[in-house]
Amino acid sequence: MMKQAAHILTFHTPGRGLLDITREVQDWVAAQSVATGLLTLFCRHTSASLLIQENAAPAVQRDLETFFSRLAPEGAGLYEHDDEGPDDMPAHLRTALTQTQLSVPLMDGRLALGTWQAIYLYEHRRRPHQRQIALHLIGG
């Protein structure tokens, strides 16, 4: 029989950067008692996003941040939209270039992530924020 479950996880980000949320997601999935299915994660914000990325080498996170700093730089006069400060529009650009939704298969009751993969909430603003991730699991 097919089962569905939904939940909102709340995270407090320390500021710009990647926050590994894999453990919290896995813990919720495990509590649902679903063996095979599909988990959808959705970030409910326009200045934060979701990534599946390497979890072993910290240089990967530093390089991602360096890349996005070049791609969507902060600077006076660069953007019309700066209602919340100089990192406002660059944060929206970073979100547009990444993902607000992920799908992860569930096999044998576990997320089918690769050995070096983790799920990250990518905060694009400099200051700390409270972020919500909506989860939807379907399976049996």
Q: Which domains does the chain have, with CATH numbers?
A: 3-139 (2.60.120.460)
What residues contact residue 40 under an 8 Å CB cut-off, 6+ apart? 101, 102, 103, 135, 136, 137
Q: Which token pair is 71?
A: 């791609």
What residues contact residue 62 under an 8 Å CB cut-off, 6+ apart? none
Instruction: Kindly report the pTM of this predicted structure.
Output: 0.96
Beta carbons of 47 and 57 less than 8 angstroms apart: no
Q: Which token pair is 25?
A: 């997601």
| pLDDT above 70: percentage of residues in the chain | 100
**Which stretches of the chain drop beneath a pLDDT of 70?**
none
